[in-house]
A and B are shown apart, each in its own frame.
Chain A
Amino acid sequence: MRAIDYVAPTSLSEAVSVLSAHGDRARPLAGGTDIIVQLRGGRRELDVLLDAKTIPELNQIELTDSGLRLGAAVPCYEIYQNQAVAAAYPGLIDAAGLIGSIQIQGRASIGGNLCNAAPSGDSIPPIITLGGEAHINGPNGWRAVAAEDFCTGPGRSVLEAGEILVGIQIPAPVANSGTAYLRFIPRNEMDIAVAGVSSSVVLDASGQTVQSARIALASVGPTPILATAAGDSLAGKAVSDDAIAEAGRLASEAASPITDMRGTIRQRHHLVDVLTRRTLNIAIRRARGEE
């Protein structure tokens, strides 16, 4: 590993100016659970690491009537230990609580998970199904990008030279809604998803009919995937095993997996179907207040 400069900016403008000066030779460091590993493994080369933990805006977690503003560098444990956030967004907690180990969760951030743009990023599908929006600052000011549009390929995102992800805005949960995330791993911890699915539903007041649904997939394509047809297929339908099975089938169709050491194409299509059905059932129970 080569020597690199470490910069700890105390303001967003300072961060943007450092990033602008170094282009793709500089990158923010939040928990470092991906980037340090990549640097040590020779999979990435940088001149400058810019500490995101010293920039105030990136470290705030704020729950208001308009939703959750999650600073990009806030570590997972701060999210799931915040009882109000945990109660409002159990689907996000599903992911925050299973990334790596407890030690990793003490450092790793949701913003970092998004910027790392791994197809397997566990927190990205629930951010997508919850309608999350990435708030980006850069040399040209602010812009917002829907979570499902943020990743553009394995390890690649919409961030341009000099830009930094400041936070993620998640809308306030509407009545009778529920979200869940499940991943499949061969072990019970410390693993990377063979496939992951988040489902989010809004039911009518009776809890018997789906008003709208969003389904997002991990590890089954070059980026996390919003399975639009699968989610839309449930809109207006009564909650039923058949409707859920159809959504599972459509989600499986939306996947475009590869065969690698973690799983095969066939296995991943199958798992998307299984996990879609399972997450929909959890999301429905949560929407009904049953869990």
Chain B
Amino acid sequence: MTTANQVLSEVEYEVVGKRPVRPDGVDKVTGRAQYGADLELTGLLHARVLRSPHAHARINSIDTSRAEALAGVRAVVTAADLPFAALSREDLSNDYNRFKFLSDNFLASDKALYRGHAVAAVAAENAHIAEAALDLIDVDYEVLEPVIDVRAAMQDGAPLLHDDLVHTSAMGEISDKPSNVASYMKFDKGDTAAGFANSDVIVEREFTTASVHQGYIEPHNATAHWRADGQINIWCSTQGAFVVRANTADVLRIDVSSVRVTPMEIGGGFGGKVTFYLEPVAALLSRKAGAPVKVLMSRTEVFEGSGPAPGSWMRVKMGADSAGKITAAEIELAFEAGAYPGSPVMQGATCAFACYELENGTVEGYDVVVNKPKTAAYRAPGSPQAAFGVEQVVDELCQKLGVDPVEFRLNNTVTEGSRKVEGPVFQKIGLVECLEAARNHEHYRSPLEGSNRGRGIAAGFWMNRGFHSSVNMTVNPDGTVNLIEGSVDIGGSRASIAQQAAETLGIAYDEIKPQVVDTDSIGFTMVTGGSRTTFATGWAAILAAEDVKQQMVQRAASIWDVPVEDVEYDGGEIRHKSEELSFTFKDLARQLYTTGGGITGTASLDPTGEGNSFGVHLVDVEVDPETGKTEVLRYTAIQDAGKAVHPSYVEGQIQGGAVQGIGWALNEEYYFGDNGQMMNSSFLDYRMPTSLDLPMIDTVIVEVANPGHPYGVRGVGEVPIVPPLAAVANAVGHATNQRLTSLPITPGSVLEATL
């Protein structure tokens, strides 16, 4: 068995594509890196949040007087302290529901909509006093029946979370009565019924997936200081400081310029820290107490009070002809939004059939509120669930047709120019190359021997994002360059962005000094998410470097007193065409302050052309027929990275996504009691895989350059979580001769299916 990671390169560069040491590495391995919980400020108070013990309850009243009277308590806040409390329906008009939902998820006003929903918070001289004070807050709840399953929530007569939630149908009709369905969408291409009529084999199945959490190791935390001059300073763990700034200003009805957000180091996010929960609450407590306030979540609070990925129900139907061509496909997806609208069902819908050239297809999606925490993004939001259904149905089509699952996919794959069901046309993409890499891989070519074993394969798609990024670059007199960025570094992006800057400037990687700074210190930068950071912030670094280069050329021309057109920048040198005059980057840097001043390059952009990503995963499993336990024996993940800027971090992303997907497939789920309370809100009983549960995840990086980026980069962080659910399910299916259509595929569920 070969277990080496492979990179199938198209183009080689000097710095891009190499594996330098990460700039933040020393601080992290020595424990010096500053996370939100490490922050200390003079006079800092400590806060805790009171959360609803009920999954669904009307809040009749909240009496905080006993808590306020406790010695050491400095402030107590409830929803009454949020601006929403003072605004009427008329004030907010069409914005009423949006603003209410935003505000209520920080502190519930009229209803608690999930167990763990924040209802009050206390700041005190220490955390123990704050905790004790929570017990002294008297909340009068009228407990209501909860609904936690997406199909149950869609039934007539289901308990309603919101009294006035109506949705618009695909035909533009507004429903006449409130329901838990927040929105409905439908896409059609060709003639789906005719396509099925022309098929020789049809597979149709229903699938369900459970609510799962991103499981980032660092809980949410926030420190806020509402100063006497009205300026609010916030330090927090976030994937996007500018989102915290914008939404804090929004919910508190103040100007964005009054809020400065400093992103601390982040201990994982995976999409879950695009959303935030504590910052405005800490700010309100700080204003009341007149002191900075720090608030931390426990692991239980993270599970119960932050956003998981949605549970889902799906019906998938696909047909193919005897030649192995897909003739039609349809999918219905119903996703749990959690307490407020906004599940990623649209993304699920647009990813569902993205790997397949479809002439006829129909996609329908429902966004449904249930009494669970409002769902948040989790790595390729919506796509893993859809792939769990579609890739199993494809696998079954292959079984029925007796064709190889890689050949079948190659026979139906999308390529440049293919049109998706919902409309967009693919640019240059690398799915064919990924499938070919799978077919050629030693893993796929080696026979699977032994009883109770199965091999699964699945493909996955994620669109990736562009979005805004900004970079400033200052040339230091010693020839180094400060690279100032607003993208929080989760997976090594300081390195991958610095590499692109170094490549563009033609100087060494070590000469670039990247720093992630606060929202007052850099231009608008969207979240580290959507697999966009190395693509978009990297591109901003390239443009800022080009700006530096241009200014360096102008400066050289001015020093030499020659026309600027006669000077060129080449590989870290500034040269006159005569070839008699030249500066190295360092030489010129040394002279800048005495020849007209320092040089700063800047760039802000909102790029398109992000280039989609595809992955193909192979997995071998063995299922113990007596216990139902699945052991993952071998795993190979193949992915198109466009250009892997730092292959080690691309491999890390691929391996991390695969591992999270394996956990989602085999063990992870929110397990609910009869009253909608989560029973397993700890890492003991919410079972993420440990290193002992996994083989080495082998990777193959395929490089099909993205024409939309100067170095061909495609985002890589999300798509690796898309194929594993179905790949594992297909493998278990082959090992047990049973199709397992509900996640997670626990030992108990395998036993139920096979005993």
* Residues of A that sit less than 8 Å from B by CB: 1-3, 184, 186-192, 194, 260-264, 266-267, 270-271, 274
Contact = CB atoms under 8 A, between A and B. Distances in A.
Top 4 A-B pairs, shortest CB-CB distance: A261-B671, A188-B692, A274-B626, A261-B679
B746 A186 contact: yes
5 contacts: A2-B128, A3-B128, A184-B629, A189-B690, A261-B685
A139 to B, nearest CB: 34
Given A186-B746, A274-B627, A1 B693 contact: no
Q: Is the interface of A mostly helix, strand, loop or mixed?
A: loop
B133 to A, nearest CB: 13
B627 A2 contact: no
Contacts of B689: 187
Contact of A186 (B128, B629, B692, B752): B629
B522 interface: no
A263 B748 CA distance: 7
A91 to B, nearest CB: 20
B751 A267 contact: yes
Given A1-B128, A261-B680, A188 B751 contact: no
A187 B128 contact: no
Q: Is the interface of B mostly helix, strand, loop or mixed?
A: loop
A261 B684 CA distance: 11
Contacts of A188: 690, 692-693
Contacts of A266: 752
B136 interface: no
B674 to A, nearest CB: 12
A99 to B, nearest CB: 13
A186 B131 contact: no
B661 to A, nearest CB: 16
Given A184-B747, A263-B748, A270-B755, A1 B131 contact: yes
A18 B265 CA distance: 46
Interface in B278-319: none
B648 interface: no
Contacts of B666: 186
B315 to A, nearest CB: 27
Nearest to B748: A267
Interface in B616-631: 626-629
Interface in B454-480: none
Given A1-B131, A267-B748, A270-B751, A184 B627 contact: yes
Interface in B702-755: 746-748, 751-752, 755
A186 B628 CA distance: 9
Contact of A262 (B131, B626, B685): B685
Given A192-B684, A274-B626, A186 B667 contact: yes
A186 B132 contact: no
Contacts of A190: 684, 690
A20 B374 CA distance: 50
Given A187-B667, A270-B751, 12 more contacts: A2-B128, A2-B132, A184-B747, A187-B689, A187-B690, A187-B692, A188-B693, A190-B684, A192-B684, A194-B747, A261-B680, A262-B685
A277 to B, nearest CB: 9
Contacts of B747: 184, 186, 194, 267
Contacts of A264: 748
Contacts of B692: 187-189
A115 to B, nearest CB: 20
A192 B692 CA distance: 15
Nearest to B688: A187
Of the candidates B627, B667, B690, the one having the most CB atoms from chain A within 10 angstroms of its own CB is B627
Contact of B687 (A191, A260, A274): A191
Contacts of B690: 187-190
Nearest to A42: B131
Interface in B391-420: none
Of the candidates B626, B666, B671, B752, the one having the most CB atoms from chain A within 10 angstroms of its own CB is B626
A191 B629 CA distance: 14
A190 B627 CA distance: 18
A264 B128 CA distance: 38
Given A2-B132, A261-B671, A187 B687 contact: yes
A261 B690 CA distance: 19
Of the candidates A184, A187, A189, A194, the one having the most CB atoms from chain B within 10 angstroms of its own CB is A187
Nearest to A189: B692
A249 to B, nearest CB: 14
Nearest to B684: A192
Contacts of A271: 627
Nearest to B135: A42
Nearest to B755: A270
Contacts of B128: 1-3
Nearest to A3: B128
Contacts of B752: 266-267
A57 to B, nearest CB: 32
B750 to A, nearest CB: 10
Nearest to A268: B748
B687 A186 contact: yes
A230 to B, nearest CB: 18
